[in-house]
Structure 1
Amino acid sequence: MKVTVFHANECDRKKCTSIKMEKLGKCKLVYNINKIPSGAVVLNPFAQKAVSYEDYRYVHRRGVVGLDCSWNEVSSSKKFFSLSKYHRSLPFLIATNPVNYGKPCILSTVEAVSATLYITRFKDEAKDILDGFKWGHTFLELNHDLLEAYSEADTSKDVVRVQNEFLESKE
C-alpha cells in the first residue's frame, strides 16, 4: 500500500508520527508539494466528501496522501488541498495519540492514514501502519465499532449517515 505524507515542517520532530512512519518504512515523506502522487486519495479535513469504500480502487492503485502540519496551521495549507480531485475527510473518530488523547477528530497523521485504510477495507494494512506506536492498538480498540460501521458503509453518504446516527445517539 502506497502511503505518502507531505511534511510541512511545523511539528515537534520528536513527537511527529509521519517521521516515525518513515523510519519504520511505512510511508514516503515528501517536502515538495509537487512530489505528491496524482490520483491518490488526499486526506483533507475541509473536503466535502468523506472517505468510504467507494475510494477502495483509488487507494489500491495510487495510495493515500496525508498532510503533516500543525492543526493550528492547517487552514494555511490551501495549496496542498488543490492537488487532487480525490479529497476526502474523515468521519468522527477519537484520537489516542499522546498529544491529543481523547480529543475528537484531531488525529495524528498515522491515525488518519490508518483510519482511511480501515474504512476502505484495507484492515490488515491499517493495523500494520500502527505497529511501532505504543498507543497504536488503542486507536483501533477505542474506535473499533465506528471503524467497523464506517467500513461497512459503501458510499460517502452512508459514512456520514453512520457518523450522524452515532453522534445523535450521544446527545
Structure 2
Amino acid sequence: FDLVELHRSNRATPPGIVLDPFAERALSPADRGGDRREPPDETSGATASRGGSGARHDRLVALDCSWETAERLVEDFAGVHRSLPFLVAGNPVSYGTPFRLNTVEAFAGALCILGERDSAERLLSKFTWGHTFLELNEEPLARYADCADSTEVLAVQDDYLAEE
C-alpha cells in the first residue's frame, strides 16, 4: 500500500522506535521527534516513516512474525525499544485479546499515541476490521496521546484498567 517498508533482515532495517512487547518502557508522545540521544539497540522488520527530522525517532520499527518467535528476534533490532500500553486486538484472529495485537494494529496504536491518528486511520483503512481496532481502543488511545512521558502512560493505563 506504499505505507510501510518491508526489510528482510535486521541489518537492512534502519534504526527507529522499535515496537517491542517485552520492553520495560512504554511508548509515549515524548518519543516523538528526532532530538533524543538514546543509544541504538538492534532492529529488523517493517518500518513506517512518521516524518520528522531525527535519525532515530523518525520511524517506527515492528517485527512481522509469530508471537512465539517475537521475544527471541526483537532484541536484534537497532533503535529505542518501547512497549505499547494496554490495547485490545480488533483483528479477527485475536479479537478482544489484550496486548495480542498484530503488526498493523501495533503500528496504528503507536501512530495514535505519537499524535499521528490520521496516519493510523489510513493504514487501518486497508483492512475490513481496521475500524474495529480504533473503536475498541478509542478512549485509551486518546488518553495515552495526551500523556507527557512513559511514566504517565503507565499511570493512565493503570487508571483505565481500574475503571474497567
Q: 1:34 aligns with which of 11, 26, 30?
A: 11
How big is the shift at 1:26? 1.4
Name the amino acid aligned to 2:61.
V
RMSD: 1.3
- What is residue 113 of structure 1 aligned with on the other side? 107
How big is the shift at 1:98? 1.0
Q: 2:61 aligns with which of 54, 58, 65?
A: 65
Name the amino acid aligned to 2:142.
E
| Structure 1 residue 76 corresponds to structure 2 residue 52 | no
- What is residue 162 of structure 2 aligned with on the other side? 168
The structure whose residues are more often helix, as a share, is 1
Please list every run of 5 or more consecutive structure 2 residues that lacks an aligned counterpart in the other structure.
Answer: 35-49
- Contact map agreement 2:10 2:76 (CA 8 A) in 1: no
- What is residue 13 of structure 1 aligned with on the other side? none
5 Å-filtered alignment, 1:12-161, equals 24-38=1-15, 40-58=16-34, 60-61=52-53, 62-77=58-73, 80-161=74-155
How big is the shift at 1:155? 0.4
Please list every run of 5 or more consecutive structure 1 residues that lacks an aligned counterpart in the other structure.
Answer: 1-23
State how far apart, in whole Å, the 2-side matches of 1:49 and 1:84 are. Answer: 16
Q: Percent identity?
A: 40
Aligned residues: 144
> The residue matched to 1:42 in structure 2 has which SS?
strand
What's the TM-score once normalised by structure 1's chain length? Answer: 0.80
Q: Deviations over 1:13-68 (max 9, x none)?
A: xxxxxxxxxxx111111111101112x10000111111110111045342100111
How big is the shift at 1:85? 4.2
What's the TM-score once normalised by structure 2's chain length? Answer: 0.83
